[in-house]
Amino acid sequence: MGMETVSILKQFGLVWFFVIFLIIIGWAYWPSHKKDYDKAGRLALDDDKDEVNSAAQEKDGASGDKESNA
């Protein structure tokens, strides 16, 4: 392989990765995906709310059991 061939392959690779990059960025910022990204962004916060609510219910249930046994 000559130096000219290597140079052409490097340029082709650069253009190829740039095109792939633009496709990924375009897909990520496409307006119809906003709902999915908003939902994914709230997942961690929703999990925290569920854990707090379940912990509070367990605490209320545990104290209720003690009162009924006394």
Mean pLDDT computed over every residue of the chain: 82
pLDDT tens for residues 1-33? 789 999 999 999 999 999 999 999 999 999 998
Give yes or no for a contact between 33 and 27, defined as CB atoms under 8 angstroms apart: yes
Whole-structure pTM value: 0.52
Q: What share of the chain is helix, strand, coil (3-state, %, to 5)?
A: 95, 0, 5
pLDDT tens for residues 34-52? 898 888 888 888 876 666 6
**What pLDDT is stored for residue 67 in this prediction?**
52
